[in-house]
Amino acid sequence: MGPLSLIRLGPVLQGEIKIRQADFAEPAVRALLVDVLGELSARYGGTGDDTPIAEDDFAAPNGAFFVADDGERLVGCAGWRRHGDDAELKRMFTATAVRGRGLGRRMLAAIEASAREAGCRRVILETGDKQPEAVGLYLSAGYERIEDFGYYKGHDSVLSYAKDL
């Protein structure tokens, strides 16, 4: 792993949250993804996200997956996968207990740095209109609306964004 494999964050809760690169197939990652999809399902219905994801989408050279670990459990995640010359952000999530403390912004910065290091020209993403917190984060981080591009292209609630790296 390169220099992005471990990023230390300031004190949060009782300990230090560390962002590290992870294998998408790790059991702890899979358990966190249940929470991710559960929250999306509560907001949008259905499974939460039906976007096809292959096991190797987040493995080099196709992408990377990061988790935030508070020493006891995983409290956040985000990954990117190649989409042509771009990096597509997927599975961006922070647990309710750590929201509002800048972890999402730090996760996004780790994704951007990793994608830039891998030679991607920009980060693109799909989110939805029932995720105002995510939209606010992306806008404040310099993302701009683009034409819808992904699995949910054409859906009424989809919002697509990009940021040049």
In this predicted model, what pLDDT tens digit does every residue of 91-143 receive, in sequence order? 999 998 999 989 999 999 999 999 999 999 999 999 989 999 999 999 999 99
Q: Which residues contact 144 (CB under 8 A, 6 or more apart)?
A: 161, 162, 163
Residue 64 lies in a domain: yes
Contact 93, 37 (CB under 8 A): no
Residue 136 lies in a domain: yes
Q: Which two tokens stand for residue 85?
A: 């010359």
Specify the pTM: 0.86
Query: What's residue 1's pLDDT?
Result: 40
Identify which of 115, 15, 107 has the alpha carbon closest to the alpha carbon of residue 66: 107
Residue 77 lies in a domain: yes
Residue 1 lies in a domain: no
pLDDT above 60 (res 5): no
Query: What's residue 154's pLDDT?
Result: 85
Domain tally for the chain?
1
Query: What's residue 80's pLDDT?
Result: 98
Distance of CA 123 to the CA centre of its chain: 11
> Residue 94 maps to which CATH number?
3.40.630.30
Residue 13 lies in a domain: yes
Residue 99 lies in a domain: yes
| Residue appearing with tokens 């999306």 | 40
Residue 59 lies in a domain: yes
Provide the residue range defining the domain that includes 58: 6-164
